[in-house]
Structure 1
Amino acid sequence: MELQLPPHEGEELSVVDMHTGGEPLRIIISGYPEVKGDTVLSKRRYVREHLDHLRRVLMFEPRGHYDMYGALMVDSELPEAHLAVLFLHNEGYSTMCGHAVIALGRFAVDYKLVKQPQSPETQVNIHCPCGLVKAFVEYSDGKTGGVRFLSVPAFAFATDVAVMVEGFGEVTVDISYGGAFYAFINAQRFGLDVTKSRTRDLVDAAAAVTKAVKSQVKLHHPTSNDLAFLYGTILTDGKDDHSADPTANICVFAEAQVDRSPTGSGVTARVALQYHKGLVQLNQIRTFQSGATGSQFTGKAVHETTCGDFKAVVVEVSGRAFYTGVSRFVQESEDELKHGFLLK
């Protein structure tokens, strides 16, 4: 029996849900009005200023949850882009999301956003707020598989930065950019283990670091002020030297939101940081494991480049995404909670 909503008043929103390494992605298919702006970054500003209620509808309860993540497809100003995307989460709008790029790559091929898919890989050009990201989707006999993507230029912004963290005193962090800025610190500094400690304790430590860095360190990006903000903190197991063994981390971003995946943009930033320190060489593959779920991405620096005055690298990240469902959401006009709520 096909289920249909009974007669109702209110706007409808349609989505396709996926996950990459356990991290959800809600791809918005319909229900948004026109997103105005000449560039993807200006569209990001527009939805933040004029359509933020729809982010809350889809990310917050009762349709979402504290750690939901979303992707809104918009038009790109770049002729080579197959699609452009804005990233949504519990606090607002990111500039890059690797787990979403992996899912969107597969989605774009399956939903015919790429007209003539090729075997063994189909290239999908995804215009993110941080720039054009090229994804490559395994494709054979009409079926999609794993995805790898090449990042925008990634670079170490600053290393061994001392900050005063409330409740922990002075700590030393590294700051690196992989489409978004992250602070990196070994979880052992807080007496924690990224794979064994309580998630609540890891969140508290990471959130305290994020708050300290935001208040004490001024970030800048060579191409746009819209990119110059700290997205979150990544706690690591400290295993940064090249090894065939996985290295684990857990990312706490936005409003203390926990990434279930190894974090694609975080892996990008971490590889750039390891390369900057001479701990990995070009094309040395590392496996990165999520401290939350145990899921894995691989990452490697593929070639050197620049970003303004920064020496940078392009990083390749690989992973797999899976479909979890298709949904139609409604905002009934008499529902007092139709705009969503967020329990902290």
Structure 2
Amino acid sequence: MNQPLTFRMMDTHAGGDVSRIVLGGIEPLPGDTVRAQMEYLRDDADGLRKLLLFEPYGIPEMSVDLVVPATDPAAAAGYIIMEVMGYPIYSGSNTICTATAVLEAGIVPKREGVQHFTLEAPAGRVKIEARVEDGVVEAITCEGLPSYIDTHRASIRVPGLGDITYSVAYSGGFYALVDATELGFGLTLDEERRLADCAHRIVEAIQAERGFSHYTLGDVGPLPFLHFMGPVEQVADGFYRSRSTTYVHPGVICRSTTGTGTSARLALMNHEGRIRPGDRLETVSLRETGFIGTFTGVRQEGPHAVVENTITGKAYVLGHTEVVVNCDDPLVECNGLRQLLSARRG
């Protein structure tokens, strides 16, 4: 019998999106940056992602964040994001969950009041502001990636749906942005399956018609995401609210509105002249959870107005687990795992 492999994990959620934070039991990864370590996992050791996102350990709606030592001396820790579609370089909900986990695990000492630290994502440094009250992490504010509009109100013929108007933003990945009302949706929980089917059709049609290139990163793959936008209401001076939901993979609608989806919305509102630096947008999910995006500034990069922003949300700890991986289990695929996980000692 093979010796069981073990690792430590903290399950969390932000806005309903469950992020499984791997805190220990992983062998050191090759690569002199967190981005290089992510590429190693993606290209040569994808077993951990598959293990935790599929049966018997998980479901595709979850995410995994592997905490690793930072390679940037300015950062307290690094983290690698794993989702059903692969390895995004950034995610707002995963960052909120990871920042909470490193505080709860003592990797970053938790202090009352407001504290600041830096994490290293595959996308680079991420500044974190944490608000702690009575020992509880009540809010995390993290930098969103600089976001911009690539395409504004283009039209495409989608089989079974007709002509669809969409915009495209980059906010850590390319997002198609569509008006939910134009498509007959009120963005309520009972619509979740129909939203996933509709989004899949639109994304497939866009992927078949065209590709997208980031102005500095170049080709980052086909457009993977779609964000349904509800009507925007102004609830106070400089504060807006909109129902929203994000499609990320066939059959998968995020439980939260997503941080990168919220950043994409800020970019679109700026492009359309509907928001000013300092304004905030709260996106509200199918499950009535929300993130708040703050438009902090804008700069011109060639033809693009690039929006700087932050995302604020709260993560909750769901549990602490030692996961045991038995490679004799016929439901467990250990290829791509053995080189990552530490065998039980003793």
Q: What's the TM-score once normalised by structure 2's chain length?
A: 0.88
Selected match of 1:28 from 16, 22, 28: 22
Give the direction of change, closer, same or farther, for the CA distance of 1:226–1:184 in structure 2 (3 Å limit). same
Shift of 1:142: 4.2
Within 5 Å, which residues of 2 pair with 1:47-66? 47-66=41-60
1:301 aligns with 2:295: yes
Q: Which amino acid aligns with 2:255?
A: R
Selected match of 1:193 from 186, 199, 204: 186
Shift of 1:110: 2.4
1:206 aligns with 2:199: yes
The answer to whether the 8 Å contact 2:232/2:241 transfers is no
The answer to whether the 8 Å contact 1:155/1:177 transfers is yes
Decide which structure has greater strand share: 2
Q: Which amino acid aligns with 1:333?
A: C
1:281 aligns with 2:272: no
Within 5 Å, which residues of 2 pair with 1:129-208? 129-140=122-133, 142-195=135-188, 197-208=190-201
1:41 aligns with 2:39: no
Aligned to 2:339: none
The answer to whether the 8 Å contact 2:212/2:219 transfers is no
Selected match of 2:261 from 246, 261, 266: 266
What percent of counterpart residues are identical?
25
Shift of 1:224: 2.0
Gaps of 5+ in 2: 335-346
Selected match of 1:89 from 83, 92, 97: 83
Aligned to 2:343: none
CA-to-aligned-CA distance 1:90-111 (integer Å, 9 cap, x gap): 2211121111111222222222
- Give, in whole Å, the separation in 1 of the partners of 2:16 and 2:49: 21
Q: Which amino acid aligns with 2:298?
A: E
Aligned residues: 331
Give the direction of change, closer, same or farther, for the CA distance of 1:63–1:226 in structure 2 (3 Å limit). farther
Selected match of 2:71 from 74, 77, 82: 77
Mean CA deviation greater in 266-275 or 136-145: 136-145
The answer to whether the 8 Å contact 2:148/2:264 transfers is yes
The answer to whether the 8 Å contact 1:87/1:96 transfers is yes
Shift of 1:228: 5.1
2:181 alignment partner, SS class: helix
Aligned to 1:324: 318
CA-to-aligned-CA distance 1:121-151 (integer Å, 9 cap, x gap): 1113122223322121002454422111222
Shift of 1:307: 4.8
- Give, in whole Å, the separation in 2 of the partners of 1:198 and 1:313: 31
1:312 aligns with 2:311: no
- Give, in whole Å, the separation in 1 of the partners of 2:34 and 2:207: 25
The answer to whether the 8 Å contact 1:187/1:235 transfers is yes
- Give, in whole Å, the separation in 1 of the partners of 2:125 and 2:251: 27
Q: Which amino acid aligns with 2:323?
A: F
Gaps of 5+ in 1: 1-6
- Give, in whole Å, the separation in 2 of the partners of 1:280 and 1:181: 21
Shift of 1:46: 1.0
Shift of 1:53: 1.5
